[in-house]
Amino acid sequence: MTDKPFAMKKEDVLLNLATDSEAGLTTAEAEKRLLEYGLNALGEKRQKPLWKRFLLQFADAMVFILLAAAGLSAVMAIKDGGFEGWIDVIVIMAIVIINAVLGVYQEGKADQAIAALRKMSSPQSKVIRDGAQKMLPSDQIVPGDIVILDAGDLVAADIRLVWQSSLKVEEASLTGESVPVEKHADVVLAEDSGLGDRDNMLFMGTAITYGRARGVVTGTGAKTELGGIAEKLQNIDESVTPLQKNLTSLGKILGIICIIVCIIVFTVDVFVQKVAWNEALMTAVSLAVAAIPEGLAAVVTIVLSIGMTRMAARNAIVRKLLAVETLGCVDVICSDKTGTLTQNEMTVTTLYDGLHIYDVTGIGYSPDGAIMDNQGKPALIENVLERLILSSVLCSDAITSKKEDGRYACIGDPTEGALVALAGKAGLSQESLHAKYPRVAELPFDSDRKMMTTYHPNIEADYFVSFTKGAPDIILDRCVSIYTMEGKVPLTEEKRAEIAQTNHSLASRALRVLAFAYRLHDPANDADAHNADLDDESDLVFIGLAGMIDPARPEARDAIAVCKEAGIRAVMITGDYKDTAVAIAKDLGLMTEGYGSMSGSDLDKLSDDELALACENTAVYARVSPDHKVRIVAALQKEGHIASMTGDGVNDAMALKTADIGVAMGITGTDVAKNSADMILTDDNFATIVHAIEEGRIIYSNIRKFVGFLLSCNVGEILVIFIISLIPSSMIHGIGTPLTAIQLLWLNLVTDSFPALALGREKGEPDIMKLPPRKKTESIINRPMQLLILVQSLAIFFTVFASFLIGLKVIFVNDAIPLTGARTMAFTTLILAELFRAYSARSEHTNVFRLGLFSNKSMNLAVSFSAFLLLFVIYIPGVNRVFDNVALPAVAWIPIIILALIPFSVSEIYKTIKYRK
C-alpha cells in the first residue's frame, strides 16, 4: 500500500502501485495481492467464547459467598451421610447457575439483534481487471485496483483519484461535514493535510452524490482511514456502570458483615454455649445464607432483561444488560448534529423572487408542504415565482423517490434533492417538467466557476433558455437584468444592493443560499444556440434566491425540552461550520443564555484541565475531529458527569466507545458506530433516547425498591439468628436456631423473588422525569434507604422473634420437639410479613393506598403464587419434612397474621411521618 498518496502526483501513485489506469490489474496479480493484503473488510472484535462469558457471570462477591456456603454444606453432608444434607448444596448451586444462564442468554439475544441490523457498506464495486470493467464483491478489492464510481455509489476502499468529472462526495459519516465536498484528481497536497482537506482522495464508507470518477485503490480493510478508527476502538477500556459499582460494593459489605458475624456466632456457640462444632458450623452457614440476598442477582438480571425487551419494543436495542441502568443517571448527552439532531436531508425553507420573501413548509425530500406568502397564505405559483421554481428543478440532476417504508430518498446531490422537493410542493412534477422542457445541453458545476447551467427549449416561444444556478455573489455579478411581473427589466444598483442584503440576511440564519438566473438564446441569430458555451454565463437575468438548511428534527426539539426538565444537558458536537451548528442549536432550544460555542481550533488551544472547565458552559462544538470528540467526552467525565454520546457516523465511533453510554443510529449508522455503541436506535429518532433514559430511571428506581425490600428481610434474618443464637438455653429452655439454612434459601430465592420481580415491573413514579439525575457517586443504598431498612429490620426481628417464642412456649409447648413447630411459625410469619410488606415497598415515599393497593397486577399474582407455595411447603407431607416444617394447626394462624401485618404497618406509618410535606 502507498503512504500519503494525497501528497503524490496521480502518475506516481499508479507507478508505485504497479498498475494501469486504463487496463487495471490482471486477475492473477489481483489474486496474489489478495493473499498478501487480505480481504477488504474491517475485522470485528473477537467475541468471548460461550464458556468464558458463562464463567464471567460468577465474578461477583455475593456469588463467592454462596459458593463458600455450598462448600461448607457439602462438607457437612459428606460427614453426616444421607441425601438430606445435600439439599442445601443443590439449591445454592441451582441459584448460582440459573443466574449465570440468564445473564448469558440475555446478552446473547442483544448480540443477535445487532447482527440482524448489520449491513455491508458497499457489497459490489465496479473494477477494471484485465482491461475490462467488472462487478466484484467489495471485499475482493486490492491495492492497485482501478475502481469506477458514479453518483449513488458507496466507496468501498481508500482511493486516490486519477480522473473525475464534477465529483461531489458525502463525507458526513467520516468528517461530519453536512454538505457534499468537491474532489479533484489533479491536485497534490501537503503531507500534513487534514482528513477533511484531502480533495484528491475518496474514503471507505463515504458516498458519491454527484459526478463520475476513476481512481486507484491505495488502502483496504484495516489500512483505510475507517479501519484506523476501528483499530483504535479496540484499545479503549470499557467503563464499569454505576449499578455494577453499587452491587459490587454491596456484595463486599455484605461479605465482610457475613464473615464477622459468622465468626462471632461460631466462636460463642463453641466456646461459650458449648455447642457441638458441627451444629455451630450449620448455624454459621445459616447466617451466611441469611446475609446474602440470593434472589437479588437473579432479580436484577431479570428486571434489566425486562427493561431491554421493553426498550427494544420502543426502537432501542441495548447491547449490554447493565447499560440499561446507566441511562437513568445520564446528565449530559453529547449528540452529533447531522442525521441525529437534524434530518440529514437538505430542505428549502425560504424563497426570494426579487420582490417578496416566501416561507416553504415541509421537511426533507418529501413533496408534502407548501409555499406561503408573507400573509401566511399559500402563494400563487405564477410569473417570477413559477420561473424561479422551474429553474431550480430543471437545473438539477438529483432524483427523489418514495421508498417502501414511505420515506423519500435522494439520489444525487442533497442540495439538488431539496430543489426537486421544492417543485413538488409547488405542484410541479420533475418527470413531467423534464419531458416538457428537455435538457439539450449543460455546463456541469465545477468549483472554479461555482455555477451550473442547463439548456431547454419550449419555455419561451422561438427561444432556447439557459438556466444558471450558483453562488449568489457570483451569479449577481453576472446579471444585467432582473425578471419581474412586467418581464425583463434592467438591474439597477439599488436593486443589486437589495438582493445582496437579502442574501446576507439569509446566510446569517445559517441558510445555504443559491441564486438563479436565465438567458435567452435566439436560434434565428445563433445556429449554435442550444450548445453549451461558457460565455452564456454572462449578461444573465436574475430570477431569485433559495435558502436551504438541513433542518432540525421536530421530535428532537421536544426531546431536548424533556431533557431540560429532567436536569439533562444536551450538547452538540459536529464537524459542520459553527454558524450552521449554532443556528440549529438555537432552533432546537439546545443553546440558551449563558452557553457558548467552540470550534475545533479553539479546542486545540486548551489543555485538558482548561477544557474540563470550559465544557461546563459550552453547548456547541463545531468543526471538530474524532479525537476532539473523545477529549470532550473525557472532559465531561472528568467533571463528574455521566455522559452519553449519540451519533451515526464513523467519526462518532471513538467517542461512542469512550462515553458512559454510546447510542448509535440503526438505519443511517455505520457498522463501526453500531459495534461501538451500548445502545442502537432502530428508528434513528433522537426522541427515543429520552424514552430510554426514562426507562433507565424507572428501572433504577425499581431496583432500589426491591433491593431495599430484600435487604431489610436479610438484615431482619441476621438479627433473628444472631441474637437468638446468643441466648443461652438456660434462659429460654429448648431454644435453638429459629430458621434453618434450607428455610432461608427458600425464603430468599422463591418467596421474596416473585414480589421483588413484581416491584421491578412498577410503572414508575409520575414525576420521574422531573427529578434531577442522581449523582454518579450516590450509593444505591443511600441514607433514606438505610433508615428505612433499619426500621423494617427491627420490625421484622420483633415479629419473627415473637412468633418463634409463641410457637415454642404456647402453640407447640406440649410437642415432643417444640423447636420444629416454632421454626415453622417463625418461617410462616416471616414469609407473610414479606408478602404484606411488598405492597408497601412499591413506593419509597408515597402511601400505598394513594397508589392503589392492588393496582400492580403483577404484584397481586406474585403474592398469590408465593402464598400458595408457602402452604405447599407447610402442608404437603414429605415436602414439609424437607423444609424442616410441620403442618400448622388453625390456631397458630391467628398470631401469625396479626404479627405479619406489623412490618407493613410500620412502613406506612414511617413514610407518612417522614414524607408528610
- Which residues are designated catalytic? 336
Of 363, 291, 229, the C-alpha closest to 651 is: 229
Task: Say how far apart CA 631 and CA 610 lie, in whole Å.
Answer: 11
- How far apart are alpha carbons 396 and 363 in whole angstroms? 19
Question: Residue 492: which residues within 8 A CB-CB, separation 6 or more?
Answer: none
* Contact assessment for residue 206 and residue 170, using Cβ atoms and an 8 Å cutoff: yes
Whether 339 contacts 685, CB under 8 Å: no
C-alpha cell at 276: 457441638
Instruction: Please state at what angle helix 818-840 crosses helix 783-806, rounded to 10 degrees.
Output: 150
The Cα 524–Cα 382 span in angstroms is 28
How far is Cα 174 from Cα 446, in angstroms, rounded to an integer? Answer: 23
CA distances in angstroms from 360 to 422, 427, 433, listed in the order given: 8, 13, 20
Please count the helices (runs of H) and the strands (runs of E) in the chain.
Answer: 32, 27
DSSP 8-state class, residue 138? G
Answer for the pair 644, 624: CB distance below 8 angstroms, yes or no. no
CB atoms closer than 10 angstroms to residue 323: 23
CA–CA gap between residue 86 and residue 83 (Å, rounded): 6
| Cβ neighbours, 10 Å, residue 615 | 27
**Taking a C-beta distance cutoff of 8 angstroms, is the pair 296, 707 a contact?**
yes
Cell numbers standing for residue 344: 440529514
Question: Three-state secondary structure along 637-688?
Answer: HHCCCCEEEEECCHHHHHHHHHCCEEEEECCCCCHHHHHHCCEEECCCCHHH
Following DSSP, what letter does each residue of 330-352 receive, concatenated? Answer: --EEEE-IIIIIB-SS-EEEEEE
Measured distance CA(704)–CA(202) in Å, rounded: 52
